[in-house]
Structure 1
C-alpha cells in the first residue's frame, strides 16, 4: 500500500521542515511538476487499521502482497450470461490560510488545517493557531494594517467609509437580485470558504472543517471533504461521506479542473497514476449504458421482465429495443433514456469514492456512436450519459476505464454484446467487415478520450470485451486485430505518459500465460482478465469453504503475468460461487446449480438456489464467509474491478435477486469491506510481484519503439468459418468521419459557460475516412452466422458511403 505511506504535504517556504523531520520543497503550482510526496520513517513500523509490517516500504516502493503457488487455473468468464481511519472531523474543523498543516494522526496520515484561522464562521479562532503571544498572527497583521487613523482625520474617514460601504452594499444587493435570486428563484443555503482559487493549481487543501471553500459560484460550494455539503447536478444536496481523506471539486466556470482526489492514498487527477505501484480498487457500472437482463433497473417494472412474455421476449438489448419501440404507450424507445437517468446517478459516484474505490470500468456499446441498417438500438443517447460519467468522476477524483462492450456482429454471441446468438466478429463471412467497423469505432473513442480535457479522467481503454479468441476466433486473428488497435489508438494519442489511455486487451479466454512477451516495448498496454468460478461445475459446499480459493487459484497467475507481460488487472470478478440468480444465464434459462440449465451439461442438481439468493435471511456466518471470499479475491487479484456496483430489484419480488454481484448491496449489509485495503495480506505474501513495471510499460523510455510484433498480421489472410479474406465482403474507407460531441456545461445561474470542450478529434492528421459499404455491392446481414454463404466478390464503385452521417453527430472540422 505505497500510497498509504506517501501522504502529500504542501509547504510554503523552502526552509520548512515536515513533522517527521524531513526537508520539504516549496509549494508548486498546477503548471509545475506535482508536489512531491514523502515517506514517513517506518521505525518502528506502524500498523494502522490492521495493516501488518509487511506493508512497509521496500526499496523505496511499497510492496504489493502476493502470493503462493497456484493449484489450479481460473475458469473462463461468461460475464453476465452464457451463449481507515476515523473521520477526524474535530481536528479538521478549521480553515487554513498558509496550509502549514501539522500531522494530527500519524497512523492515519491525515493532516489538519488547524493553523491560521481567519474565518468568521469558525467558533474558536485561537485554538491551535500559530500565534504571537496570545494574539492570532494573521489577525495581528490585519490590525497593524488597519490601525486607527489620526483623530484629526478620523471623522472624515469614517464618514467616507460608511458612504462607500453603503454604495457597495446597494450594488451587491442589486447584482445578487438579478444574477442569483431573479434567475434561480431561490437562494443558496451555504457560503463556500476556501483559499483554493479554482484555477487548477493543484493545491489540495480544501477543507475548513465543513469541507467548505472560500470559492463560490453564487454561494455554491466548489470543494470539500468528509461531511461537506455537495450540490448535485439534479438540484438536490447530499452530505459527503468519505472517511479516507478524499476531496471533491466542482466549479462550473472551470469544468475541466482536476483538483479532486478520491482518497488520500490515490493520486489526485492532476497527478499521474503510477501503474503497477498505485493500486486499482475499481467497480464496474454494468447494466447502465449496456443493459443486461439480470441487472434490471431501480424502477418498476424492470426493463426485461416487462417484456418477458412478449411475442418475441426481450433477451438482449436488440430484442428489448424492438419491444420498446413497439410499446409507444410507455414511451417507446425513449424508455431507455429513463433507465440511463435513474439507474446510475451522481450520488453513486460520491458513494463509490466514499467506499474507498478509485476506478470505474464503464461498458459502452457501438451504438453510442451510430447505428446502421436495421439495428434497432437507441443511437447516441447513452453517449450523453457517458459524458455525465466523466463529469461526475472528475468531481470525485475517480478514474475511468471505458470498455467497448459490444461491437457489430457480436464478439462472443452473449447478450451483453448487443445481440444473443452467433459470433460474427472475425468469424464467418461477415467477420472481417464487422471487424473493420469495430476498428473505426475504437478510433472514434480513442480520438475523443485522448483530448487533454478528458485524458486525465479516462485513463484506460478496454478495446474489446470478452472476444471468444479461443476456441472460435483464433489467436492469430485476434492478436493481429489487437496490433491494429494499438496503431489506431496511438495514432490518435501519440506516445508517452499522459498521451492518451492505457490500452487494455482482454485475453480472449486463451489464458494470461499466452500473452507472455506479447508486443514487448509497446507503449502502455495492459491485460484484462475476468476470473469467475461460478459458471462451471457447481457445489453445495458452504461459502466458508471458499475462504482461500482465490488465493490458490488466481494469485500466482497474476504475479506471473505482471512479470512476463506487464500491467494486468481483473476487469471483472464477483462474489458468486454458484450460477444462482434470476436471468443470470439468460432470460428463460435455468441454473446449473439447480440442474435446470438447458445449455451444455448435464448439471446434477445441488439443491435450491434460495440459499444463495435470499440474502435477507443470511446469517452472520454467511455474510462473514462472503466477506472473506471478497477480501481473498481482492488480495489475489491486486488490481481489480468488481462486477458490478449495483443490481436493481426485480419488479416481481421487489428484491435484488443476484446478491453476489452487487457491491453496493454488500456494503449496506456487511459482506463487502468498508475499506478495500482490509484485503491486504489475506492471502499471505510468500511470492510477491515487486514493482515497478518496466519504463516502457508506463510510457517512459523506450515506449513504442521496436515493438515485438513481426508475427502479428492485419488484415489477416483468412478468418475462421469464412476462408480467405480476398473472397469475403469488406468495407471501403470512403465514409464521412463521425466524431463524438463534448458536453455542454451550465452554471448555477443557468447561463451557458463558454469553455473549450474539444472537437472530438485529438489528432487532425488522422484523416482516413471511415469504413462503409461499397456502393453497388450487396452484403450479408452482419449477424448472418458462420454458415452463411458469402456473395460473389464485388468491387463496386466506392464513391460514397451507403449510409448518411447520422443526424446530431458532429462531423470532424
Structure 2
C-alpha cells in the first residue's frame, strides 16, 4: 500500500551554520573597504583598521546584521519538493509577512550529513542590549512583523539581531550562531554529541510540553475563562474572539507557561526526552484563519535550545493540521474533520505536506541533527479517516521529510485504532519509522470502571503484551507518545469546555449513568480535582504504583512520553505536580516497584473516588 521509502538526498548543500554565523559577523565587507583605503593611503588604512578592530572587539562599536540593501527579493520563487498544486497560497494574517512559502534566494536545502555527531566548542551568548536594533534599524517592510525583534515580548536567550534570512521559508531570526552538544540529560544516557543507540534496548523516558505552543482548555483553563455563551472552546474560537489582542495574549502565555527552569527540572527528574507539540500556524495560516501567525515558531526554536542546554533530546510533534485532523479542541478547531475528509480534505492534506516540506528543510540543518531524535507527522488523526488514505498520506509525508535530509526517526500515530490494525502496513522503513500509540483508561467506559488493583494489573499484563506484540510481530518499532496518571476523567474541560465527566455520569453520552466502579451516586469527582495534599496515604500509594506500572509496560517498546509536564490545576495530568506530591518516582529511571512485584494493598481506599 505504501511506497518504499526513498533514500535521503545525497546532494551537497551549503552549511547553514556558516550561513547563520555570517549574518552576525559581517566584518568581511569592512575589510574589503579597508583594502581600498590602503590603496589610497597605506598608513591611514592601517590606522583605521586597528582602531575599528579594537572598537569592535571591545563591543564599543556594534554592527547591524542586515540592511535594506541586502534584504532578499520578496518575490523570489518558493522552494518546494511537493508537486501537487491543490493548496492555496498561505496567508500571514494581519500585519505579517505574506509569503509563508520558502524563499529560493535565501533557502538552503540543508541535506548535508557531513557532521552527524558534531559538538560545537562554544555557545554564543545573547547579544548585549546595546547591540539590539532600534525600530529605525528594521526595514520598513518588516516592522511590526514577527521579524521585528523590537516588538518581541521576551528576549531571553534570543539573538536580537535583525535578519530576514530563511531556511525552508522559515525565519532564523532569534537563533544564536553556535551551539553546544556536549550535555547529557543524566549519567545513564549519552550526551547529545554521541548516538543514542537502540531505543529497543534503551527506551526513551520523556514528557510532553502540552498546552504550551498548542493550547488546550484543560491544561490552561484560565485562557478559556469566558461565559459559556461566548462559544470559546478551542484556539480557533479564542483567537477569533480576541482579534488583534490574540497575539499579545498568546505570546504572554508562550513566554511564561514554559521557561528554561522547566527544562532543567525535566532533566533533574531523570527524564531524557521532551515531546513539543506545536501547530501548523507556527508555519502558515490559510484563508480566514484567525490563528496567530508564526509567533509560536520562535518559542519552539528557543525551547529546542533549552532542551539542548540540559542534554534533552526532542520529539517534534505537529499537533494541529490544516482543517483539523480529528475534530477535537487540541487540533486547534473543534467540530469536524477537514483533513483528508470533507470538501476541503484533499486540499488540507496537501497543505499539511507543504508544512512538512518547510519544516523538514529547516530541521535538516546541522544544528538539529543531534538533538531532534523524533519527527512527528500528525497527532491523533481521527479513526474515521480510511486507513488506506491515511497510510498513503503518511508515506508521502515520510518521503518529503527524508528527501529533505532529516535524519530523525519519523513518527506516525495509530490514529486511535488498535495496534494490531497496523500489522503489515507501512512496511519497508526499518527503524526510521515508529508507530505512536496513546494509552489511557479514562476515555473508555469499560476501562474506566475497573477497580484500582485491576488497573495496575491491566497495565502490567495487557498493555505489556500489546506493546511487545506490536514490536515483535506487528508493525515493528512502537512507542507510547502519551499516557497519564489520571484514573478518572474528572478534570475540568478534559472532555471539552462545558462538558462533564463519564466518571460521575455528567458527560453527554453517560448522563445519569456514572461509570466509576460502583456505578452509582457515590461516584464523585471531588478528590480527583483536589490538591494532592488532601490525598490519603492509600490513594498516593495507588497513584505512584499506577504510574510505575505504566512506565514498566511502555518500556517494552521504544519508550514513553508522559502527558504532560505542567498544568494550571490538574495534578494527575502534571508530571511536575506528581513529583512535588511524591506520587511519581523521584527519578524516571529508578523504581521502587516492578510489575513482577505483588500489587500493594490499598487498604480501605474507596473505589468511587
What is the TM-score normalised by the length of structure 1? 0.50
Q: Which of residues 207, 232, 242 is equivalent to 1:324?
A: 242
- Structure 1 distance, partners of 2:407, 2:249, is 34
- Structure 2 distance, partners of 1:261, 1:388, is 18
**Do the aligned residues in 1 keep the contact of 2:247 with 2:295 (CA within 8 Å)?**
no
Q: Which of residues 336, 341, 344 is equivalent to 1:422?
A: 336
CA pair 510-536 structure 1, distance change in 2 beyond 3 A: closer
Aligned to 1:693: none
1:295 aligned onto 2:203: no
**Residue pairs, 1:377-456, within 5 angstroms:** 377-456=291-370
Unaligned 5+ residue runs, structure 1? 1-174, 184-199, 205-212, 221-231, 236-251, 494-498, 649-655, 686-813
1:313 aligned onto 2:231: yes
Please give the secondary structure, in 2, of the residue aligned with 1:373: coil
By how many angstroms is 1:517 displaced?
3.4
Q: Which of residues 483, 494, 503 is equivalent to 2:395?
A: 483
The CA deviation string for residues 771-807 of structure 1, in whole angstroms up to 9 with x for no partner, is xxxxxxxxxxxxxxxxxxxxxxxxxxxxxxxxxxxxx
By how many angstroms is 1:177 displaced?
14
**Do the aligned residues in 2 keep the contact of 1:528 with 1:570 (CA within 8 Å)?**
yes
**Residue pairs, 1:656-695, within 5 angstroms:** 656=569, 658-679=570-591, 682-684=594-596
- Structure 2 distance, partners of 1:486, 1:369, is 18
Q: Which of residues 260, 284, 301 is equivalent to 1:346?
A: 260
**Do the aligned residues in 2 keep the contact of 1:543 with 1:622 (CA within 8 Å)?**
no
Please give the secondary structure, in 1, of the residue aligned with 2:479: strand
| Number of residue pairs aligned between Structure 1 and Structure 2 | 436
Please give the secondary structure, in 1, of the residue aligned with 2:276: strand
- Structure 1 distance, partners of 2:124, 2:482, is 40
By how many angstroms is 1:519 displaced?
3.0
CA pair 601-425 structure 1, distance change in 2 beyond 3 A: farther
Please give the secondary structure, in 1, of the residue aligned with 2:543: helix
Q: Which of residues 590, 600, 618 is equivalent to 2:500?
A: 590
The CA deviation string for residues 735-781 of structure 1, in whole angstroms up to 9 with x for no partner, is xxxxxxxxxxxxxxxxxxxxxxxxxxxxxxxxxxxxxxxxxxxxxxx
Aligned to 1:644: 564
RMSD in angstroms over aligned alpha carbons?
A: 3.2
Q: Higher Cα Rg: structure 1 or 2?
A: 1
**Do the aligned residues in 1 keep the contact of 2:240 with 2:290 (CA within 8 Å)?**
yes
**Do the aligned residues in 1 keep the contact of 2:274 with 2:312 (CA within 8 Å)?**
yes
The CA deviation string for residues 56-110 of structure 1, in whole angstroms up to 9 with x for no partner, is xxxxxxxxxxxxxxxxxxxxxxxxxxxxxxxxxxxxxxxxxxxxxxxxxxxxxxx
Aligned to 1:283: 207
1:259 aligned onto 2:182: yes
Please give the secondary structure, in 2, of the residue aligned with 1:425: coil
**Do the aligned residues in 2 keep the contact of 1:411 with 1:467 (CA within 8 Å)?**
yes
- Structure 2 distance, partners of 1:322, 1:303, is 13
Aligned to 2:404: 492
1:501 aligned onto 2:411: no
Aligned to 1:536: 444
**Do the aligned residues in 1 keep the contact of 2:120 with 2:178 (CA within 8 Å)?**
no
- Structure 2 distance, partners of 1:642, 1:370, is 28
CA pair 600-462 structure 1, distance change in 2 beyond 3 A: farther
By how many angstroms is 1:429 displaced?
2.0
**Do the aligned residues in 2 keep the contact of 1:548 with 1:629 (CA within 8 Å)?**
no
Aligned to 2:6: none
1:578 aligned onto 2:578: no
Q: Which of residues 612, 616, 622 is equivalent to 2:528?
A: 612
**Do the aligned residues in 1 keep the contact of 2:548 with 2:593 (CA within 8 Å)?**
no
**Do the aligned residues in 1 keep the contact of 2:391 with 2:426 (CA within 8 Å)?**
no
Please give the secondary structure, in 2, of the residue aligned with 1:447: helix
By how many angstroms is 1:182 displaced?
12
Aligned to 1:131: none
- Structure 1 distance, partners of 2:282, 2:124, is 35
Moved more, 530-539 or 363-372: 530-539
Unaligned 5+ residue runs, structure 2? 1-53, 63-116, 129-153, 158-174, 517-522, 598-609
Q: Which of residues 257, 260, 284 is equivalent to 1:370?
A: 284
